[in-house]
Chain A
Amino acid sequence: MRVALVDYGAGNLTSVRKALRACGADVFTPDRPEGLTAADAVVIPGVGHFAATAVLDAAWRAAVCAAVASGRALLGICLGQQWLFEGSSEAPDVPGLGLLHGRCAHLREMAEEAGAGPAGAPGPSSDGLKVPHVGWNDLAATRPSDLLLGLAPGSQAYFTHAYAAPMTSATVATTTHGARFASAVQQGRICGVQFHPEKSGDVGLRVLANFLRQAGER
């Protein structure tokens, strides 16, 4: 299983590479979009500002779309998942890839829109919602999916982000922090996770193994 890990300068790839390798993948980092043709699956990682995705120019966008069109599996992680959508209020002028319907927004915007209010988070220290959302939180499956196959109810994953994707028909799990957002998505072979599977212990490794397994069923 040859996995192309796309490096666009948004964060450190060491942990993602290590976790994919632990799950049996042969990981490489193409320095040009044409490199994706050598891959069985494509992973777009990333942390930081949505504007960082602007490095993925027209040639990269076309190459990722071509990989998906040819039946290769795609996984976006954190900022990489957000990029699969149409865009984000974090950088309104930077278009997302648009493979998935909807736009990403700040957790506070989402909370206010949902009417919960920014101070709506219950809990022992409920003096206000802390954003960024950092730490381990629940994955609530919304429908069965290949990506989250075999995860026990109540499984938690590690998050660190301030913006998130909306709930749509692609959502396979949600997480709540002030607002409920799409913490995992799957539409055919297009997958995404807002959490960091490479930092989420056995739960995260299971998700990566699930992704690689379905990627191998091409």
Chain B
Amino acid sequence: MLSKRIIACLDVRDGSVVKGVQFEGLGHAGDPVSLARRYNVEGIDELVVLDVTATLESRRALVTTIQAVAAELFIPLAVGGGIRSADDAAAVIDAGADKISLNSAALADPGLLTALARRYGSQAVVVAIDAKRDGARYAVFARSGTAAAGRDAVEWAREAEARGAGEILLTSIDRDGTRAGFECHLTAAVSGAVQIPVIASGGAGTFEHFEDVFTRGRADAALAASIFHFAEHSVADLKTWLAGRGIPVRAVQSAPAPEGRRAC
């Protein structure tokens, strides 16, 4: 059976991992390569590297970070933050990213999703949607949650799929970094409206939150940062717990260096 994916997010600024609360107040959480290495041993299914400042200097550091992470990990790697053009996308793909995540640039020019899907395939194009509750609906925000995009999250998810996005990385701005649980109403609404996988993000705090978003929230994958970075919970412990609750997850590899790796 298709496993529910557990994805670790590395918010990177100038080559270091940082993590904020509700998109503000970034604090240091470590070196991206050593974190990525640890998660890989623990059985993470995928990594997302987000360049959270995306200044010119930061972008050069990002390429170096992607190369270093991709050099030793053989699992899917998505990269986002500040990708505004086909050239930006090519730079991170050439550095070793398997997927590119587009947010503000896709809102400004939805045709960029189509252009990148034609060039790299839909499986390489992730649309990142940052949404905030607005009454009974969810409003989309651009520019790291600072600018209302005037779009409804469900409606934008449908359009992004039609334009060529292969996955949706759906973040609840209200829950980001709060560890109060995923916004399951949001993920269920979007997941039910599209055919492509939905990655839930924002609010992971306990193992129960993951079970909740995979069942009630109808998410295909769940992404977290804080609870993994500070080693409060290992990915392996989370997966073992989820498996015990009947959620299909990829079994954790038993040893850090299995026989197959050494045979290479």
Is B171 engaged at the interface, CB distance under 8 Å to the other chain? no
Bound complex: CA A123 to CA B4 (Å): 10
Among the listed B167, B219, B261, which residue makes an inter-chain contact with A134, where contact means beta carbons less than 8 Å apart? B167
Judging by beta carbons under 8 Å apart, are B122 and A132 in contact?
yes
Q: In whole Å, how far is A131's beta carbon from the nearest beta carbon of chain B?
A: 6
Q: Given the known A-B contacts A12-B124, A131-B195, are A198 and B74 also in contact in the complex, defined by CB atoms under 8 Å?
A: yes
**Inside 8 A of B250's CB, which chain A residues have their CB?**
136, 156
- Asked if B196 is at the interface of the complex by the 8 Å CB criterion, the answer is yes
- Give complex CA distance A156, B214 in Å: 19
CB contact under 8 A between A125 and B214, given known A18-B96, A48-B121, A135-B45: yes
Taking CB atoms, residues of chain B closer than 8 Å to A160 are: 123, 166
What secondary structure prevails in chain A residues at the interface with B? mixed
User: 1/0 contact trace for A38-70 toward B, CB 8 Å?
Assistant: 000000000110000000000000000000000
What sequence of 0s and 1s flags, for each residue 185-209 of chain A, a beta carbon within 8 Å of any chain B beta carbon? 0000000000000111111111011
Segment from B19-27, B107-115, B144-152, B252-260 that makes contact with A: B252-260
- Shortest Cβ distance from A198 into B: residue: B74
User: CB-defined interface of A86-113 with B at 8 Å, one 1/0 digit per residue?
Assistant: 0000000000000000000000000000
Residues of chain A within 8 A of B251, CB atoms compared? 154, 156
In the complex, A115 has a CB within 8 A of chain B: no
Contact B75 A201 (CB under 8 A): yes
- Closest Cβ neighbor of B99 among chain A residues: A160
Stretch with Cβ within 8 A of B (4 or more), from A19-27, A29-37, A165-173: A19-27
* B247 adjacent to A124 (CB under 8 Å): yes
Contact A205 B260 (CB under 8 A): yes
Number of chain B interface residues as a range: 35 or more
Identity of the chain B residue whose Cβ is nearest the Cβ of A175 in the assembled complex: B2
- The CA-CA distance from A158 to B7 in the complex, in Å, is 13
Determine how close the nearest CB of chain A comes to the CB of B132; give it in whole angstroms: 24
Which residue of the partner chain A has the closest CB to B117? A48
For B75, what are the chain A residues with a Cβ–Cβ distance below 8 Å?
158, 199-201
Smallest CB gap from B120: residue in A = A12
Given A15-B98, A138-B1, A205-B74, A132 and B260 touching (CB < 8 A)?
no
* Residue B264, interface by CB 8 Å: yes
Beta-carbon nearest neighbor of B218 in chain A: A125
Return the chain B residue nearest A47 by Cβ.
Answer: B121
Interface residues of A (CB under 8 A from B): 10-12, 14-15, 18-19, 22-24, 47-48, 121-125, 127, 130-138, 150-151, 154, 156, 158, 160, 176-177, 198-206, 208-209, 213
